Amino acid sequence: MSSDVAARRDAKKLVRSPSGLRMVPEHRAFSSPFGLEEPQWVPDKECPRCMHCSAKFDFLTRKHHCRRCGKCFCDKCCSQKVPLRRMCFVDPVRQCAQCSLVSLKEAGFYDKQLGVLLGGATFLVTFGSSEKSETMVCRLSNSQRCLLLEGDSRHEIELAHISTVRILTESCPPGGGNARATGMSLQYTVPGTESVTQLKLTAGEDANASRRQSIAWLVAMHKAAKLLYESRDQ
């Protein structure tokens, strides 16, 4: 990738919307696949009452719009200001109680698991039906748009082209307990074709720091996949 393309990809701009200040990519084509579009606000004339507790709006009972769902609420039902990273808001914004809980859970992904994905981990990687595996480092690109796999060869897979993500686990240990993640299976389409390719990531078997890092990466990727599918449903 040329330096000019990389600069365009990483360029940001500050924009103001009715909901607040947002730091967004200079070019829409480089937006994060985890991002959500701002909702259309329910028009004031269509919500004479709080859409949660039904309190009637008047001079004392002010109406507020949730920045995540766009619905109208009274101050009691829409009092929290929490981060909304998926819409690129610079500061915490007002959200209803239900949306606040969702956004706070997502903040954990951005504060912890996103860093794990960007840092990468080592896996045995198998493409398609091949019987050969290659040791590769898999990480999320800085733009959050691609999975980068680097070893003796190099591959780049756009998250937008991934159709399924499945965690692979080992059998439950004797005496009970939770099954442990051992790898991940991905299916994705190849740009310019309609063919579907399968990719399998397998964590090392030795109980060492590298395996722990790989397992943490798998857990983070599973959470990322959920956000990705939610974004597509919006």
Q: Stretch 76-82: mean pLDDT, rounded?
A: 94
Q: Are residues 157 and 223 in the same domain?
A: yes
Q: Mean pLDDT lowest for which of 111-125, 138-152, 204-218?
A: 204-218
Residues 128 and 112 in one domain: no
Count the residues in the chain: 234
Reduced to 3 states (helix: H, G, I; strand: E, B; else coil), residue 88 is: coil
Q: Which of 69, 82, 53 is nearest to 61 (CA)?
A: 53
In the prediction, which pLDDT does 194 show? 76
Give yes or no for residue 167 having a pLDDT over 80: yes
Q: Are residues 87 and 145 in the same domain?
A: no
Q: What single letter denotes the amino acid at residue 178?
A: N
With pLDDT > 90 as the criterion, what percentage of the chain qualifies?
59
Spatial neighbors of 203 by CB under 8 A, at least 6 apart, are 121, 123, 124, 181, 182, 183, 211, 214, 215, 218
Q: Final residue of a domain: which of 95, 116, 137?
A: 116
Task: Classify residue 227: in a domain, yes or no.
Answer: yes
Q: Are 135 and 110 in the same domain?
A: no
Whether residue 125 sits in one domain with residue 208:
yes
For residue 73, give the CATH number of its domain. Answer: 3.30.40.10
66 and 124 assigned to the same domain: no
Domain end residue (candidates: 116, 144, 161):
116
Say if 80 falls within a structural domain.
yes
Separation CA 120–CA 111 (nearest Å): 16
The residue segments making up the domain with residue 129 are 120-170+182-233
Question: Which CATH number goes with the domain that contains 156?
Answer: 2.30.29.160
Neighbour-count burial of 220, counting CB atoms closer than 10 A to its CB (0-12 exposed, 13-18 middle, 19+ buried): buried
Residues 216 and 162 in one domain: yes
Domain presence at residue 2: no
**pLDDT of 172:** 55
Please write the tens of the pLDDT for every residue from 58-75: 988 999 999 999 999 999
Boundary of a domain, candidates 100, 116, 132: 116
